[in-house]
Amino acid sequence: MADSPTGPARLDFFVAHAAGLSRKQAKALIRGGAVTVTGEDGAPRTGLKANSSVAPGECVRLDGAVLTLPGERYLMLHKPAGRVCALEDALPTVIDLIPAEQRRGLRIVGRLDRDTTGLLLLTTDGQWAHRLMSPRHHCAKRYRVTTAEPLDDAQLTRLRDGVVLHDDPAPTRPAEARALSDTELLLTISEGRYHQVKRMLAAVGTRVVALHREAVGHIELDPDLPAGAWRPLTDAEIG
């Protein structure tokens, strides 16, 4: 049955995702009459077009075979340095690390800079991604930060209290900052401003030389996952 996890879906979207086809191929099949849709009462629909809406409970067939949408996918990737968080780019991308057959419909949840490493989440579930990244939800993100110069207690206190960034008059939300050594700290923020961690450290008078994301919300980077590798999230991690 046509069971879209987010409600009604366009017919060409449904056919493409259920059959592993391109949208262009799906549209050609719909035009050619290879796709049929019946309601819960078993009555066939007529006048089908690519932009026809398929409701949950309707049955979609391709050449007589019932189509179903694949379930939502949730992945954890250990991002290495040197890859950009994009689905397509002239530079090496994080999506290139995912097998081609697993990429369809994936979106990146909370991007990392090219030189930043660590936890990156990818999913086909737009609502789940929004819950994690929406500014309204203040999802905590923990980073291991290495600085160019030693940090003193006064600088750590400023990070905890919130700092004013260059060209941004609103101070950052209070953060958790715990020194691991003179030049290394764990910094947990609940915002997602542009280059925020690097700008926060610049605001207190130092420079970030290495940045690694360890956690997003309750999801921790798997310590057994090497750089460049990925795995599906567990049910507990998905929440």
CATH of the domain at 118: 3.30.70.580
Q: Tell me whether residue 3 is in a domain.
A: no
Residues 124 and 234 grouped into a single domain: yes
- Dist. CA 144–CA 80, nearest whole Å: 14
Name the domain boundary from 47, 67, 87: 67
Written as six digits, the tokens of 145 are: 């930060």
pTM above 0.85, yes or no: no
Environment class of residue 44 by beta-carbon count within 10 Å: exposed (0-12), middle (13-18) or buried (19+)? exposed
Name the domain boundary from 50, 67, 84: 67
Dihedral sign, Cα of residue 220, residue 182, residue 205, residue 178: positive
Q: Tell me whether residue 20 is in a domain.
A: yes
Q: Could you list the residue range(s) of the whole structural domain that residue 205 is in? A: 140-216
Q: Which residues are catalytic?
A: 113
Residues 130 and 193 grouped into a single domain: no
pLDDT in tens, the chain (239 residues): 333 444 678 999 899 888 888 889 999 999 999 999 998 788 899 999 999 999 877 899 999 998 887 788 899 999 999 999 998 899 999 999 998 878 888 999 989 999 999 999 999 888 899 889 888 889 999 999 999 999 999 999 999 999 999 888 899 999 999 999 999 999 999 998 999 999 999 999 999 999 999 999 999 999 999 999 999 999 899 98
- Dist. CA 92–CA 107, nearest whole Å: 16
- Dist. CA 95–CA 137, nearest whole Å: 26
